[in-house]
Amino acid sequence: MVLLANIFLQNIVIRAIFGIIFILGSLYMTLALFSDIAKGKATLAGGYWVGLVLIIITIAMSVLLILGYEKNKQLSETGQ
């Protein structure tokens, strides 16, 4: 419900909250992945590189979610 409200209302607070939640989750998953690699349970050659790529993409999307509203707001104020 909150995600749908964000789509329709385009509230900067909700976007920032979602961005922070997603980036914290991504950082947690990164630590979990590196912990498995450090313990020898997993290797990047064993297919875990896909998870690492997905985590990096999620971090990038989180940053864009947080910063995206400001860029759209600036473009609409200049009339472009």
pLDDT in tens, 4-25: 776 777 777 778 888 888 889 8
Number of domains in the chain: 1
pLDDT band at residue 75 under the 50/70/90 scheme: low
Domain limits at 69? 2-78
Q: Please write down the HEC assignment for all residues of 13-66.
A: HHHHHHHHHHHHHHHHHHHHHHHHHHHCCCCHHHCHHHHHHHHHHHHHHHHHHH
The sign of the CA dihedral 44, 50, 53, 59 is negative
Measure the CA–CA gap between 15 and 17, rounded to whole angstroms.
Answer: 5
pLDDT in tens, 33-68: 888 888 888 777 777 888 888 888 888 888 887 787
Q: What Rg value do the Cα atoms of the chain yield, rounded?
A: 17
